[in-house]
Structure 1
Amino acid sequence: MSRKVKGASFLSLVATLGVILLGTDGSSAFADSDVAVPVEVSVQEDARVESAVDTQVEDAAESGEAAPAFISQPVVQPLPATPDAAPTSASSLRELVAASPVPDTLDEQMRCLAGAIYFESKGEPLAGQLAVGRVIIARGQSSRFPSSYCGVVYQRSQFSFVRGGRMPAINTGSRAWQRAKKLAVIARDNAWESPAEGALFFHANYVSPRWKNKLTRLAQIDNHIFYR
């Protein structure tokens, strides 16, 4: 079949669809006005359009032409990256902390988590600070403790730095606080495994609480001993 005939078939399809949408008497609101207005296509008209398209497909099949192809291109929208998420890979915890961004802001729960790391372990090595953060998180996930970071931190008689149900003032300009915020994100994202993973309790090595004899010792990291 020649290109001229193929072109005529295509023009015929366009003309057919145009007549159906505008109506045979040309009396639609769109036809009577130069102003574009919304056009409502009735169920009957929609069926007529579908029938016309089907007819063109059948005619093309009988004549050996390729049937009209209606291709829908998928729209892929990438998800935005979480701005404060910990990096996905590092060769050491020190490298991970160095590569992690300092969170611009912390919500209430993350501030409680970072505060506990800061006050309980800012003088400890990074592994010890991470372990303290993971204890807070593990408690929040256990039915034995409050279900939020702040609930865990402010639970009565649990953390000695909490006085009168309040956290002391934090030196927010210190390197220790910036590091504690990074470690809070790393602990939350479980981006680095703690050597005391699963611990729910810890104490300084210069004290010997009676409750430790009822628990399973997991690890000692510098001055803190961790238990489950």
Structure 2
Amino acid sequence: MLGRGGFIAATILLIVFGVLADVAPVRASSTVAGPYYDTKVLSAELVKASDALDQIAIDLPDDVSVRDVLLLALNIYYEARGEGVSGKAAVAHVTLNRMKDGRWPGTLTGVIFQPGQFSWTRKPGKIEDPEALKASVMVAAKALMGTLRDRTGGALYFHAARLGDPDWTQGLTRVAQIGAHTFYAD
């Protein structure tokens, strides 16, 4: 029988290799940078997210996996770590809205690691703000349990507001400004 530490380590290994198995490889001729595949860094970040989940007293229902909470939490952390709860929740909802939309993969792994979508998947990063990570884990769990209202108006896209109006937003409808991000729908 595995002890608590062994269970967590085994879970992290399954998550990392399960995540990478779910991601379609990018062809060498692709002009878009592929997903960030450094398993050592991803493992370390997932361990930190798992530790944050352990610190939060929350019971996940059977239909919400620890793997999904950790992946969504990392996406929230890297995309909105400086945001308050509403900004973090908005990023979570865009991720989940994409998962429900037929134009994106139907899994969190597929949505998060789709090439060119979330910059943190292409660049190494370190978790340097444990409190922001803990908040990201809490928001991820609540979003996956369906207890957070989607204040983005069903947005499928967002960018940092400081960027102005990037060319890719032409033809999209601006639906919300939440924290430091602007949100769009088709």
Task: Pick the TM interval, shorter chain.
Answer: 0.5 to 0.7
2:77 pairs with 1:124: no
Cα distance, 1:140 vs structure 2: 0.7
Residues in 2 aligned to 1:220 and 1:120: alpha-carbon distance in whole angstroms:
15
Cα distance, 1:145 vs structure 2: 0.3
TM-score w.r.t. structure 2 length? 0.61
Residue in 1 that maps onto 2:160: 204
Deviations 1:106-135 (A, max 9, x none): 633221111111111010121111010011
- Please state whether the residue corresponding to 2:70 is helix, strand or coil: helix
Cα distance, 1:103 vs structure 2: 6.6
The CA RMSD over aligned residues, in Å, is 2.2
Residues in 2 aligned to 1:169 and 1:163: alpha-carbon distance in whole angstroms:
13
Deviations 1:150-209 (A, max 9, x none): 111111011111126xx63435x8111111111001111221213213110000112131
Stretches of structure 1 lacking an aligned partner (at least 5 in a row): 1-99
Q: 1:101 touches 1:182 (CA, 8 Å); kept in 2? A: no
1:224 to 177, 181, 184: 181
Residues in 2 aligned to 1:111 and 1:194: alpha-carbon distance in whole angstroms:
20
Residue in 1 that maps onto 2:74: 115
- Please state whether the residue corresponding to 2:88 is helix, strand or coil: helix
TM-score w.r.t. structure 1 length? 0.50
Residues in 2 aligned to 1:107 and 1:169: alpha-carbon distance in whole angstroms:
21
2:65 pairs with 1:134: no
Residues in 1 aligned to 2:111 and 2:59: alpha-carbon distance in whole angstroms:
22
Amino acid at match of 1:211: W
Residue in 1 that maps onto 2:108: 149
Q: 2:94 touches 2:157 (CA, 8 Å); kept in 1? A: yes
Q: 1:205 touches 1:224 (CA, 8 Å); kept in 2? A: yes
Residue in 1 that maps onto 2:127: 170
Residue in 2 that maps onto 1:15: none
Greater helix share, structure number: 2
> Which structure's CA Rg is the greater one?
1
Residue in 2 that maps onto 1:195: 151
Amino acid at match of 1:155: Q
Aligned residue pair count: 125
Amino acid at match of 1:212: T
Stretches of structure 2 lacking an aligned partner (at least 5 in a row): 1-55
Mapping for residues 14-29 of structure 1, pairs under 5 Å: none
Amino acid at match of 2:173: T
2:142 pairs with 1:186: yes
Q: 1:203 touches 1:224 (CA, 8 Å); kept in 2? A: yes
- Please state whether the residue corresponding to 1:146 is helix, strand or coil: coil
Deviations 1:67-105 (A, max 9, x none): xxxxxxxxxxxxxxxxxxxxxxxxxxxxxxxxx73579x
Q: 2:153 touches 2:176 (CA, 8 Å); kept in 1? A: no
Q: Which has the higher contact order (CA 8 A, sep 6+)?
A: 2
Residues in 1 aligned to 2:101 and 2:168: alpha-carbon distance in whole angstroms:
18
